[in-house]
Structure 1
Amino acid sequence: MNAKECSSYTQVVSSLTDIVMKSGLPQVCDSCPVKTPKDHLLFSVVTEIYKVCPNPDAILPYLIKDNPLMPVVYDQTIKIDVNTAAEEWISTGLYLSPGMKTYIAMPEEMVNKGWKIQIGCQTDRLNATVIKRASWVCERILITAQMMQVCNLWGGAHLPVGSP
């Protein structure tokens, strides 16, 4: 729910952001899995909090502690020729680091026609007592403009063409 004009909504987002920043997010991995109800709760809300908080860059260091600097590519042009009648995801071969933002330019023919950008390739939702990564790490973004800024808290492979 995104109701930025509502003071109650803004207050809840602010409170949840403060809780996440004070608690920190466990750095989940094979040797440090999420087991406690508190950690499960944090992992279930953190992606949405990141999307709606006023300054996601400010909370990123509290969420991803070891976010190594990766090489950055500017003005990379990738042309993908797609001819498909079914949903299909085509990789660009590019990767976004956790929380990294990028701009994408898409042809006018794809705008508001049901096409999507996908960041991250693990599309399964984990639902277990013990998890070794966030339960949902894939972000799908509807193409609504020719030039869009996109990101995913968890980073991932950049798959920009999902047919309607």
Structure 2
Amino acid sequence: MPGQEPTGGAEAFTRWLSTDEQHLWLELREFLSGMPRVVDRQLSRDSEVSGVEYAVLAAVSEARPEGVRSGDLAAILEWEKSRVSHLLRRMECKGLVGRCAASDDGRGQKISLTDDGWATVRAAAPGHVSLVRETIFDPLTRAELAQLRASLQKIRAAAVEKGLW
């Protein structure tokens, strides 16, 4: 623990966080847990979809007109295939997406938006973009945004290099 002398074992090699690092980590942790709740509340209030449902709707809306394979959708979203599969099943029940066998090999599924799915993503997008702009982009200068992007890319690359991402 911070302020204590290591007694051996793994603790002897622990690089404890400084006070500033600990404060930054706690701020980041709060942001990472709080922002999805803010997004979910806004989307639920305005469009009756969750943040993860909106992510799927947005990704599928940006895919080719014939739809996107479910495995490719999982890769685009960087989610586990099982997570995408469960979510697609719920969204299909809500009438937001349609699933059909992929015509090129018959093994996968092509995902496309239904008319209700298109209406939902079109209705949700303006409020969602406004929330993101007002919460993330407006408070920061161009230089701060560039630094934030570079920092996040560097952190992500380090996690990928260690096989964590």
Q: Which TM class, normalised by the smaller chain length?
A: under 0.3
Report the structure, 1 or 2, having the larger helix content: 2
Report the structure, 1 or 2, having the larger strand content: 1
Q: Which structure: larger Rg?
A: 2
